[in-house]
Structure 1
């Protein structure tokens, strides 16, 4: 993780020249840093999936929650730095702060000892009967040859695409219906309040559904959560011009979407073992990249063609 974080400053520096236009830069720069982010996320998953075989869902959710809900804590300070010193200063300052924290934290991480495998096997016996766990560790090549991987991959592309589409287009949707200018409470508009609530719910849903999946099984949890997410998105479409309902519906959509970041890594560990859990989930996580290719651009294109969000 420390090595991955050391690469991040170069990515931050690369962003500085990506685009001199502020808006254009914001659109392009996040992709420059993506490799470093993926390295850190994959290694965090590897550690937690190996240490807690009987609570994979909960532990995956707790760590993933920091990646989701943590954004809510940084919105205000980052926005303040951008307004006073510009986006270059914001990237530089928060990049340095983030780098120091990650490198120091990485020094305290350790892989399970050699004798932990036998202990883990005993722990697995206490796992809920609804959670099926593999008795052997599959290599990435072996995992790729199973149909289960590709079924899960398609699922993650579709579910991830729906959530990413909502993330990218929530602002344009609010602006097209006028709710972005409606002040709801505390001087906040419906759009700003919705974005803040969505980030929090997108974070706390991860340990909640991770814990639920430890009790009732990953597949059952996915069926319930993703099914409700679909209903929530349909509800959101019917209340686009109603500020309060817009906030509640968008929050529900994100609450039942964010758990994919705890359910999928836990299920990868369950199905293909703990030895190669980091690499195996790294391959599965590329589904989010595939989803991001079509989610935002496709939604924008469909809106331009259809002149409305319902088809999208």
Structure 2
């Protein structure tokens, strides 16, 4: 196949991947709209109902290695389509749930497994289709997941008010599930003749593919896992408690550009959290993964410091929160592209499944740990301080530890990358 046709095909694949990712965004990002109705319907406590969301996140992240293994061995098209259908079916089944168990088994189980299959599968396909633009391509589909709910939030809210939450779950479950299923049927892995050649020195590309078992024995993988866990934990310490500290700072209901500061900030943050993924992915394609990580992670630390200093100014709070999200969301484009650069594409989906578990660890640590620290200290300042320290440590690790470690790995494997000159072993005389 000629280069022009191959290039056109992969952009179509990127578009289809973006659409599917957008259809699985709502179960996570619109969940908050259904909490109170489910409390009323089941008569359960807030904590008991919120277990549903925990199930979604745990199944989405901690089962990702198994999901990745299946995707690497069977048709990604059919599995991703099944995942999209499961996510929609979770909403349909939840519309009939009358008990906590039914809610956990429908919304929690089906949406959690479905979104995990789709997320890991789409990322695994994009790193194969775009060896020369991995950061950007992964960033685009990750942005679809981060921003997809923007288009559904207000319609869902309006339908809940007009027709009730059960009818809303049924209608949107069918719509989102059908769109995701149909779009996924157009996805496929690239043929060898369709892979666009990588310009020399453009981006890292492992000389040999590394299987998951071997990858898990390398300190390099665990360094990436630690870094992603630290970034996820620090970011989620702020993200998960955002509304709470906005109220404590006294800015939640203050007006910003004619809008209440908290909803304005949440909308603005969702946009910046989506845009950062392709942006920093593109930057890393041109200037190196670790170089970009160091700058982005340090930027988040600075943004959190500024947010803390000007926390009582509603304008500064709203705008700086957008910078915090902008400097955090890029982990979902930088880490998968760096991992594939390092360990190859053959097992990319399974390998990323293991790394993606770091997001699950961060979600379990970030929210509960931040709440415990606040309850103990009676202040959000220690929480912010820990997030700042984690960001700075990870930025330092990216430039001074990960970069030379990958240089050694790529040198041994004969690969080259932007910002990383491989270490050549001296010739034997």
TM-score, L = length of structure 2:
0.66
Deviations 1:158-192 (A, max 9, x none): 10112222221110111112211112224x20001
* Counterpart-to-counterpart distance in 1, 2:108 and 2:256: 31
In structure 1, the partner of 2:183 is: 105
* Counterpart-to-counterpart distance in 2, 1:167 and 1:32: 25
**Higher RCO, Cα 8 Å, sep 6+:** 1
Partner residue of 1:8 out of 52, 63, 87:
87
Q: Is the 8 A contact 1:179 1:243 kept in 2?
A: yes
Q: Is the 8 A contact 1:58 1:210 kept in 2?
A: yes
In the alignment, structure 2 segments of 5+ residues that lack a partner are: 1-79, 384-429
Partner residue of 2:377 out of 303, 306, 309:
306
Partner residue of 1:155 out of 221, 227, 237:
227
* Counterpart-to-counterpart distance in 1, 2:174 and 2:239: 27
Using the TM superposition, give the Cα deviation of residue 108 of structure 1 relative to its aligned residue in structure 2, in angstroms.
0.9
The answer as to 2:350 corresponding to 1:279 is yes
The answer as to 2:205 corresponding to 1:133 is yes
Matches for 1:181-260 after TM superposition, within 5 Å: 181-186=253-258, 188-260=259-331
In structure 2, the partner of 1:124 is: 198
Using the TM superposition, give the Cα deviation of residue 14 of structure 1 relative to its aligned residue in structure 2, in angstroms.
5.2
Instruction: Report the secondary structure of 1:132's partner residue.
Output: coil
* Counterpart-to-counterpart distance in 1, 2:170 and 2:151: 18
Deviations 1:133-179 (A, max 9, x none): 21111111111111111000011111011222222111011111221
The answer as to 2:142 corresponding to 1:142 is no
Using the TM superposition, give the Cα deviation of residue 110 of structure 1 relative to its aligned residue in structure 2, in angstroms.
1.2
Q: Is the 8 A contact 1:127 1:214 kept in 2?
A: no
Partner residue of 1:63 out of 141, 149, 166:
141
Instruction: Report the secondary structure of 1:180's partner residue.
Output: coil
* Counterpart-to-counterpart distance in 1, 2:273 and 2:250: 24
Q: 1:213 to 1:278 in 2, by over 3 A?
A: same
* Counterpart-to-counterpart distance in 1, 2:167 and 2:307: 37
For these two proteins, the number of residue pairs brought into alignment is: 300
* Counterpart-to-counterpart distance in 2, 1:165 and 1:82: 30
Larger radius of gyration: 2
Q: 1:239 to 1:91 in 2, by over 3 A?
A: farther
Q: 1:287 to 1:173 in 2, by over 3 A?
A: same
Q: Is the 8 A contact 1:14 1:32 kept in 2?
A: no
* Counterpart-to-counterpart distance in 2, 1:263 and 1:197: 22
Q: Is the 8 A contact 1:71 1:199 kept in 2?
A: no
TM-score, L = length of structure 1:
0.90
* Counterpart-to-counterpart distance in 2, 1:276 and 1:110: 16
* Counterpart-to-counterpart distance in 2, 1:310 and 1:267: 33
Instruction: Report the secondary structure of 1:311's partner residue.
Output: helix
Q: Is the 8 A contact 1:206 1:260 kept in 2?
A: yes
Moved runs in structure 1, 4+ residues, more than 6 A?
none
Instruction: Report the secondary structure of 1:275's partner residue.
Output: coil
Q: 1:150 to 1:165 in 2, by over 3 A?
A: same
In structure 1, the partner of 2:335 is: 264
